[in-house]
Every structure is written in structure tokens, then in C-alpha cells.
């Protein structure tokens, strides 16, 4: 860091303190509680903000310099990939569907992180954490933009990318990631830090990014791989911020422990449920697979996360209870999710397909306890039906979990042949959840979760048709109207990969580029 090397009299830490926390002051013309109105209501007690240890010490000039260098390199690669039709070097155009899942489901969350950290970066009373949060806010707008910019070229040639901002607000399965972040940002600033800064950025981020980025690398996607690698040094900063934040809260007052523990329990489960989409992507959507979801869970959660929780044990933090169920679920959820997307492939903005025989064999090998017993027979039946020209699409709508908003597709931890339902009563109404984890989250804050914009309920209430649709007209067909409301081009964005425009175009373009 350039400016710091000139420090002769001051140590790095003192100099950085003058550059950051030295700038703040206790207001007296306006009460501090009015300037910072949101950092007390959650019950977290902070006695001394000056005890905050800056997790990294980067002045703005150093930040600009290093980040600009990364941006120059990244955009050079994105440009080269686009100019050389890099998309034609992919293993298989099925891979592109993982990118559709990413731009519609993940990139808008990066944007929300940007706004969320701007909010927390304004509201926490301590200057040290504010500066760190604002830098993360700035990094997060980088991430959404580099993702959009590297997928911009795919949007030019492939379907399903064209309306990602519209879809995240409407399409049924996208309410899963959307509501996750809406939940975090509408919580208080400390809960946001535990939800995103700690649980998401620290505990679960590797399970999201390593599979996507390695998946990109394995499948010849230089563009996506590069933005992933380029984001890694930012992520390292975000992880240290998340960890410092939880330690700071726990060290400030023993009364903070039960509150923090409940948030960790909640957000670990919430995050685990969202990651179902990643599990499905790893096991089913990557033409060339990196590792199975189960293996990723074991390495990145059970081993790495286990070590982290061991570290936190000295503060009294316990491993969340929901981990018991997640350990059972790791052998099931990717198959259950893909089976659901396959059935509802008419209402998604990416293509679905049944795994080929050699891919089923890979799944058998990776999931010796479950795949052949519970899932292969159904998948082979569907593949056979498709071969006979009877591709199965489910035309009824599934019930959604009131908390995670995933269709009720998960099974009982004790019986993989029974769908798991939980029920709560609140103000004379019944609310349904998919698991003990989600039920416990609901029961703790029912007044929050009853607000959820559940896509299936909304469709049944008639809120998901274009303005000019008339459901009372004889012969009214709801599904095509819902697809219009989603801005989903029926026949181009959705349905089976086999026979899709993406498949035809990719084959034709690649032939053009590789044959004389």
C-alpha cells in the first residue's frame, strides 16, 4: 500500500486508524441515536466500538490502484472471449443453462448485497466497520457488473438471459434466492452482518463459487471463470469482515450470544436450502462434472465449516441443529430438485433434460446409497417416455414452503419416500413449511414470513397474468399467460434441451467454425 510506506513515525495500524476512525466524531447538535437510529433495536449490546479490529487496512488510493489493475485484466479477457466466439469452445451447450441460473438467480443478489452493505455501512455507529462495509458495497456492485458484462455476450446468442431483472421479481423458483436476500436486508443491520457477512460469505460462499467457477473452467468458459477468479481476492476481504463481525459482537457482551446463535442457526439453514440449486447444477447441469454435491458439501461444509465452528466454540457458539438434517439431505436434494425442474421445465427460463446413461452411472457411483434406489427408476422412466414422444411436463402447481419458498419436494429425514410437511397456525391461518428448520424460522417471526410473495399463491390469486389477460374468458389458458407475465418466450427459453434453439444453433455455429 503506497501511502503507508512513507509512515516513519506511525505504525501501520495507527496510521490506518487516523485514515478511518479518526474521521468520525460524536455528534452533539443531533443526538447520536438519531444519526444512527437502527443499531440498537435488535438487542445487540455494543459497549465500545473502538475495540473493533480492522480486518484489512486498505486506504482508498490503494483500493483504486489494485482494483483497477484487476479490472483491466478481467475486461481484456472478457473482450477476447467475446471477439473470438469463445462460447463455441464450450464442452456442450447444456452448460450455458448453468449461466442462466447464475445471472437470474445470483447476480441480482450481488446487487442486493451492494445496497445492503451501503445501508449497514451508513448505519453502524463504529467508523471501522462502516468503512469495511462500504468497501464491500463497492465490491458487490463490481461483482454484479462483471457478471452481467461477461454474460452479455451469451445473451446475444442464447435464450433465457434476456430478461433476468424482470424474472427475478416474478418467476416461481427465483423467489427462492430473492426472498433469501430480501429477508437479510429487511432484518436489522447486525442480523444482516450475520446473515450475509458471516453465514453466506464465510460459511457457504465456497459452496457457491467453487462449483460455479470450477464448473466454468472444466467446461471451457473462460469468461465466467475469469470473473470468478478475479472476485476471489475481494471475497477473501469479505470473509475476514464477516468473521471479525461475529467475534466483535460476541466479545462485546455475553447477552449477545443467544441472539447471534439464533441468527447463525437461521441463516445456515436458509443458506443451505438456497444451495439446493447449486447442488442440482453440479450433479445435473454441468456436462463435464467437477465433483458431486455430496463431495462438495463434505469438503466445504463438514470439514472447513466444522473447523470454523470449532474455533467459535470458545465463544459458546454451537454447530446449528439443522446440520443433522443437512447431512442426511446431501444424498438426496440435488436429485429431488432436478426432478422438480424437469417436471416444471415449461415454466423455467432454462432447459432441462434427463441425464444420459453414462451420466446416470456417474450419479450411481457418487450416490451409492440413494441414486439407484430412489431416483434412477423414475429418471429412466421419464427418459423412456420422452423417447416415445411423451416428454412429461407437470401442469399443476406445487405448494411452496412459506420460508425458503422451495416447492415441497424434500423428503422426511427418516424416510426418503415421504414428502416432508410441517404446519404452523398464525392468526387463524395455516402456514406450511418444508422442514423443521424452516418451521422454526417461521415460528420465531411469523409476522415477517406471512408477508412472503409466494409465486404459486400469486398465480392462483390471479396476480401473475399480463394486464390484458381475462381469466374469466372461456378457454382461458393460465400457463401461457403466466409465461407472458414472466417475459419467458414460450418454446425458446423453456422446455427440454433436446430440440431447443440453443442446441440447434450451437451445433450449427460450431460446425461452421470447426469444419471446412
Partner 1 sequence: MQIDLRTVTIKPLRQTFDHVAAKIGGDKPATRYQEGTIGLQAENNFHYRPLWAPEYEIFDKRRTDLKMKDWYAFKDPRQFYYGSYTINRARMQEAAAAEFEFAEERDLGRSYPAAAKRRAIDVLLPLRHVAWGSNMNNSFCAAYGYGTAITQPCLYQAMDQLGIAQYLTRIGLLLDQPEVLDTAKQAWMESADWQPLRHAVEDMLVTQDWFELFMAQNFVLDGLLFPLIYQRVADSLAAEAGLVLSMLTRFQVDWYAETSKWVDASVKTAVAESSDNQALVSDWTRQWLERSRAALAPVAKLGLGAGSEAALSEVLTQFKARAARLGVTI
Site for partner 1 in 21-60 (CB under 8 A): 22-25, 27-30, 34-35, 37-38, 41, 59-60
Binding to partner 1 (CB under 8 A): which residues in 345-374?
A: none
Question: Could you give the CA distance from residue 6 to residue 1 in angstroms, rounded to a whole number?
Answer: 10
Angle at 248 between CA 246 and CA 252, to 5 degrees: 120
Binding to partner 1 (CB under 8 A): which residues in 109-128?
A: 111-112, 114-115, 118-119, 121-122, 127
**Should residue 131 be labelled a site residue for partner 1 when binding is judged by CB under 8 A?**
yes
Length of the chain: 516
Nearer to partner 1, 82 or 383 (CB): 82
Nearer to partner 1, 230 or 336 (CB): 230
Total residues contacting partner 1 by CB under 8 A comes to 103
Nearer to partner 1, 17 or 312 (CB): 17
Q: How far is the CB of 324 from partner 1 (least distance, A)?
A: 28
Nearer to partner 1, 386 or 487 (CB): 487
| Bridge partners for 425 per DSSP | 430
Question: Could you give the CA distance from residue 412 to residue 371 in angstroms, rounded to a whole number?
Answer: 16
- State which of residues 108, 177, 305, 407 lies at the interface with partner 1 (CB under 8 A): 108
Q: How far is the CB of 293 from partner 1 (least distance, A)?
A: 24
Q: Which residues contact 378 (CB under 8 A, 6 or more apart)?
A: 339
Taking contact as CB under 8 A, which single stretch among the options 275-283, 310-318, 365-373, 443-451 is the one that binds partner 1?
A: 443-451
**Should residue 149 be labelled a site residue for partner 1 when binding is judged by CB under 8 A?**
yes
Q: How far is the CB of 483 from partner 1 (least distance, A)?
A: 14
| 3-state percent helix, strand, coil for the chain, nearest multiple of 5 | 65, 5, 30
| DSSP per-residue letters across 182-237 | HHHHHS-HHHHIIIIIIIIIIIIHHHHHHHHHHHHHHTT-HHHHHHHHHHHHHHHH
Nearer to partner 1, 72 or 430 (CB): 72
**Should residue 162 be labelled a site residue for partner 1 when binding is judged by CB under 8 A?**
yes
Nearer to partner 1, 4 or 383 (CB): 4
Binding to partner 1 (CB under 8 A): which residues in 167-186?
A: 168-170, 175, 178-179, 182-183, 185-186
**Should residue 232 be labelled a site residue for partner 1 when binding is judged by CB under 8 A?**
no
Q: Is 514 exposed, middle or buried (0-12, 13-18, 19+ CB in 10 A)?
A: exposed
Nearer to partner 1, 64 or 392 (CB): 64
Greatest CA span in the chain, whole angstroms?
A: 83
- State which of residues 94, 125, 142, 439 lies at the interface with partner 1 (CB under 8 A): 142
- State which of residues 44, 49, 55, 67 lies at the interface with partner 1 (CB under 8 A): 67
Q: How far is the CB of 343 from partner 1 (least distance, A)?
A: 24
Q: Which residues contact 72 (CB under 8 A, 6 or more apart)?
A: none
- State which of residues 113, 187, 195, 459 lies at the interface with partner 1 (CB under 8 A): 187
CB 233 within 8 Å of CB 69: no
- State which of residues 13, 45, 165, 390 lies at the interface with partner 1 (CB under 8 A): 165
Binding to partner 1 (CB under 8 A): which residues in 72-101?
A: 72, 74-75, 84-85, 88-89, 91
Question: Among candidates 152, 154, 164, 149, which has minimal Cα distance to 106?
Answer: 164
| CB atoms near residue 328 (< 10 Å) | 14
Q: Is 30 exposed, middle or buried (0-12, 13-18, 19+ CB in 10 A)?
A: exposed
3-state secondary structure of 101: helix
What mask, x for binding partner 1 by CB under 8 A, covers residues 458 to 497?
A: x----------------------------x----------
**Should residue 419 be labelled a site residue for partner 1 when binding is judged by CB under 8 A?**
no
- What are the cell numbers at 1? 500500500
CB 434 within 8 Å of CB 408: yes
Question: Could you give the CA distance from residue 476 to residue 463 in angstroms, rounded to a whole number?
Answer: 15
**Should residue 12 be labelled a site residue for partner 1 when binding is judged by CB under 8 A?**
no
Nearer to partner 1, 75 or 362 (CB): 75
**Should residue 220 be labelled a site residue for partner 1 when binding is judged by CB under 8 A?**
yes
Amino acid at each position: 500500500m503506497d501511502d503507508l510506506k512513507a509512515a516513519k513515525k506511525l505504525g501501520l495500524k495507527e496510521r490506518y486508524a487516523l485514515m478511518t476512525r479518526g474521521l468520525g466524531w460524536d455528534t452533539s447538535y443531533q443526538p447520536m441515536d438519531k444519526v444512527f437510529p437502527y443499531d440498537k433495536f435488535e438487542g445487540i449490546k455494543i459497549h465500545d466500538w473502538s475495540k473493533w479490529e480492522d480486518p484489512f487496512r486498505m486506504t482508498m488510493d490503494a483500493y483504486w490502484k489494485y482494483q483497477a489493475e484487476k479490472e483491466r485484466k478481467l475486461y481484456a479477457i472478457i473482450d477476447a472471449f467475446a471477439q473470438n466466439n469463445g462460447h463455441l469452445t464450450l464442452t456442450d451447450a447444456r452448460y450455458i443453462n448453468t449461466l442462466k441460473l447464475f445471472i437470474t438467480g445470483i447476480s441480482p443478489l450481488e446487487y442486493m448485497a451492494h445496497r445492503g452493505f451501503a445501508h449497514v455501512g451508513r448505519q453502524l455507529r463504529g467508523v471501522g466497520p462502516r468503512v469495511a462495509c462500504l468497501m464491500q458495497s463497492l465490491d458487490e456492485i463490481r461483482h454484479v457488473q462483471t457478471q452481467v458484462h461477461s454474460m452479455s455476450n451469451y445473451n446475444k446468442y442464447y435464450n433465457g438471459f434476456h430478461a433476468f431483472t424482470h424474472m427475478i421479481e416474478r418467476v416461481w423458483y427465483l423467489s427462492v434466492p430473492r426472498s433469501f436476500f430480501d429477508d437479510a436486508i429487511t432484518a436489522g443491520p447486525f442480523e444482516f452482518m450475520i446473515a450475509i457477512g458471516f453465514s453466506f460469505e464465510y460459511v457457504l460462499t465456497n459452496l457457491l463459487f467453487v462449483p460455479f467457477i470450477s464448473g466454468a473452467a472444466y467446461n471451457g468458459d473462460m469468461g465466467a471463470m475469469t470473473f470468478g477468479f478475479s472476485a476471489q481476492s475481494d471475497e477473501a476481504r469479505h470473509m475476514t469482515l464477516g468473521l471479525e463481525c461475529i467475534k466483535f459482537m460476541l466479545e462485546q457482551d455475553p447477552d449477545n450470544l443467544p441472539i447471534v446463535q439464533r441468527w447463525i442457526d437461521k441463516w445456515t439453514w436458509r443458506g443451505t436450502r438456497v444451495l439446493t440449486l447449486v447442488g442440482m447444477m453440479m450433479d445435473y447441469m454441468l456436462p463435464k462434472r467437477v465433483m458431486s454435491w455430496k463431495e462438495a458439501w463434505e469438503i466445504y461444509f463438514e470439514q472447513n465449516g466444522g473447523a470454523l465452528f470449532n474455533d467459535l466454540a470458545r465463544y459458546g457458539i454451537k454447530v446449528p441443529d439443522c446440520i443433522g438434517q443437512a447431512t442426511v439431505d446431501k444424498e438426496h436434494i440435488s436429485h429431488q430438485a432436478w426432478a422438480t425442474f424437469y417436471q416444471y421445465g415449461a415454466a423455467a427460463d432454462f432447459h432441462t433434460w434427463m441425464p444420459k446413461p453414462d451420466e446416470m452411472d456417474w450419479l450411481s457411483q457418487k450416490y451409492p446409497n440413494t441414486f439407484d434406489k430412489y431416483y434412477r427408476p423414475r429418471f429412466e422412466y421419464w427418459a423412456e417416455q420422452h423417447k416415445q414422444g411423451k416428454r412429461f411436463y407437470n401442469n399443476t402447481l406445487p405448494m411452496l414452503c412459506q420460508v425458503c419458498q422451495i416447492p415441497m419436494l424434500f423428503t422426511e429425514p427418516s424416510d426418503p419416500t415421504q414428502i416432508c410437511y410441517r404446519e404452523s397456525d398464525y392468526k387463524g391461518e395455516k402456514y406450511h413449511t418444508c422442514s423443521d428448520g424452516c418451521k422454526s424460522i417461521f415460528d420465531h417471526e411469523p409476522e415477517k414470513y406471512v408477508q412472503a410473495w409466494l409465486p404459486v399463491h400469486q398465480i392462483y390469486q390471479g396476480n401473475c397474468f399480463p394486464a390484458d389477460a381475462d381469466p374469466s374468458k372461456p378457454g382461458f389458458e393460465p400457463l401461457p399467460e403466466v409465461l407472458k407475465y414472466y417475459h419467458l418466450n414460450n418454446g425458446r427459453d423453456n422446455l427440454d434441451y433436446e430440440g431447443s434453439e440453443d442446441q440447434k444453433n450451437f451445433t450449427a455455429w460450431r460446425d461452421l467454425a470447426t469444419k471446412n
